[in-house]
Structure 1
Amino acid sequence: MNVLVVLAVILFILMTLIGGKKGAKSFLAIFFNFAVLLLIILLMNDPNLDPIILTFIACILISCITLFFINEVNSKTTIAFLSTLITIVILLFFIVVVNKMAMIQGFGEEEIEELSSYSLYIGIDFVKIGASVIIMSTIGAIVDVAISIASPMREIYLHNPSISRKALFKAGISIGKDILGTSANTLFFAFFGSYLGLLIWFKDLSYSLGEIVNSKIFNAEMITILWAGIGVAMNIPITAWITAAFLVKKKEEKTG
């Protein structure tokens, strides 16, 4: 039996045993999200379709699957979904601008030899493709942070309905501070582990530290890590503010 199938079965069994029905849904969500990514990648081959718009649509679908399919539609998932979309819109705008200035789009000189036999005139804007790659790399972490803040804030409100909007917002920021450090480190080591082969390649090419730092490939990966951290950090106050405003407004409408 294929190793992938065996590992998938083991993962499904563990997720179902530990998470029950929600664990089984989480397992299925992995394949649904993969299908979304695959579809978007295929659509990006069409030069008439804007990669940024396709990326935003993919983020909406992935957020819906991750939040609503697994945790159903409720106040905390709705808030997490809204804050995720706001964060993605802000990130997309700044990523396109900064990436164009940094000129990290396209391929580095280390990749030219392997690509020399292919035509690079494929009619696709690599600045937008680069922005899409960064967003796709961070969407999971942003959704995770959003639900990780909205859920405990909702519990705080349910146990203390008289809490003010300001106090609830501060509680959300306090929760976010605890999440920020671990999320940033998780992103860093995830990217670092994925591109460990790149660093070994640099060593085999006898690159100096200066050449590594100025390498286009290295800069592209580091910028991706930094944007991921910025997205996570930015998502914390956005989620905390929306959650506090929504829950307190809901209470005021009931009492009013």
Structure 2
Amino acid sequence: MSVSVWLALILFLLMVLIGGSKGARSFIALFFNFGVLFMTILFMTDPNADPIILTLIASTIISCITLFFINNVNNKTITAFISTIITITILIFFIVIVTDDAMIQGFSEEEIEEISMFSLYLGVDFVKIGASMIIMSTIGAITDIAISIASPMREIIHHNPLISRKDLFKSGLSIGRDILGTNTNTLFFAFFGGYLALLIWFKELSYSMGEIVNSKVFVGEMITILCAGIGVALVIPITSWITSYTLVKTREKNESSKRVR
């Protein structure tokens, strides 16, 4: 058996032992999400397809799998799902503008030599492809933060049923602030860890600091990190507001129905 298969088996066993049935569903969800990403890439090769629309559809499906398949359908997953979709919709149009203005679309100088034997006339919009790549890189973090805020907020109103909407919203923001710093660092080191070999290559090619900072690959990674951070920051107040509104509205509805009885 290959190393990849052994590592997958170890991961599966650990997820089942620690997470139980939810851990097993999480492991299966990885393969479902991979299938969605793979199909999205195939559809993007069609010149008539719009990568932005495909990304929104793929992000919606991935969010459904991550939230509803793993955590079932309930108050917290529904509010987390709505918050995720709203955040991604806002973020994707912002990213398209940034990607176009920064001109990071297409292939960099470092990649040209390796692909010189292939045709570069692919007939796709690389500005939109670049925006789609950034969104796909951040969807996991945004979904994770949305459920990480919605879940404790539901626990708060369960243990303190008389809490006001304003106080519940503030509690959501407080939870989000604790998550924000660590999650932003996680994104930063995840992206740079993946490009550590590239940075070493830059060093071996005797690139100056100015050439590294202005290279298309480096700028593209920095924009991805910064846009991911913006998405992480945006989803906190959005999730806090939607969750507080939904939970208090549900409580008021239940109270009014009890009075009628």
Q: TM-score, normalised by structure 2?
A: 0.97
Bigger drift between 182-191 and 102-111 goes to: 102-111
Give the whole-Å Cα distance in 2 for the aligned partners of 1:13 and 1:212: 42
- Residue by residue, what CA displacement relative to the aligned partner does 1:63-116 show, whole Å, maximum 9, x if unpaired? 011000000000000000000000000011110011101111011122222222
The correspondence of residues 12-161 of structure 1 with structure 2, limited to 5 A, is 12-161=12-161
1:255 offset after TM fit, Å? Answer: 2.1
**Paired AA for residue 172 in structure 2:** G
Runs ≥4 in structure 1, deviation > 3 angstroms?
none
In the alignment of these two chains, the number of paired residues is 256
The correspondence of residues 230-249 of structure 1 with structure 2, limited to 5 A, is 230-249=230-249
Give the whole-Å Cα distance in 2 for the aligned partners of 1:34 and 1:110: 28
Give the whole-Å Cα distance in 2 for the aligned partners of 1:185 and 1:39: 30
Give the whole-Å Cα distance in 2 for the aligned partners of 1:8 and 1:120: 36
CA RMSD in angstroms, aligned pairs only: 0.7
Give the whole-Å Cα distance in 1 for the aligned partners of 2:112 and 2:11: 39
Bigger drift between 124-133 and 9-18 goes to: 9-18
Partner of 2:259: none
Give the whole-Å Cα distance in 2 for the aligned partners of 1:13 and 1:251: 40
Give the whole-Å Cα distance in 1 for the aligned partners of 2:205 and 2:16: 46
Give the whole-Å Cα distance in 2 for the aligned partners of 1:195 and 1:186: 14
Give the whole-Å Cα distance in 1 for the aligned partners of 2:157 and 2:96: 38
1:252 offset after TM fit, Å? Answer: 1.5
Return 5+ residue gaps in structure 1 as ranges. none
Give the whole-Å Cα distance in 1 for the aligned partners of 2:98 and 2:226: 12
Matched, 1:215 2:218: no
1:141 offset after TM fit, Å? Answer: 0.3
**Paired AA for residue 192 in structure 1:** F
Identity %: 72
Give the whole-Å Cα distance in 1 for the aligned partners of 2:129 and 2:172: 34
1:61 offset after TM fit, Å? Answer: 0.7
Return 5+ residue gaps in structure 2 as ranges. 257-261
Q: TM-score, normalised by structure 1?
A: 0.98
